[in-house]
Amino acid sequence: MFLNPYRLLLNLLPDPALQVGKVITITGGVAAIQLPGGGMASARGDAAPNDWVFFRDGRIEGKAPTLPVEVIEV
């Protein structure tokens, strides 16, 4: 059995976190997303301005429900 050291190292890293945010603008297929804490991120995918979306690792994964957001600092 051959063990690839690079693959073993990658398996130690966690998956990117699923985040939620509000789409502010879309330019060239890239959405500018405002995070609940006030930060900004960008991601590719299908969305419209003012949509709440789930995104991970630069990709929009789907629409999020429009619910009140509570920010808890850790």
pLDDT, tens digit, 9 for 90 and up, residues 3-21: 899 999 999 999 999 999 9
Domain boundaries, the chain: 18-63
Percent of residues, the chain, with pLDDT higher than 70: 99
> Global pTM?
0.78
Q: Note the CATH architecture for domain 18-63.
A: Roll (2.30)
- Given a contact cutoff of 8 angstroms between Cβ atoms, the answer to whether 26 and 50 are in contact is no
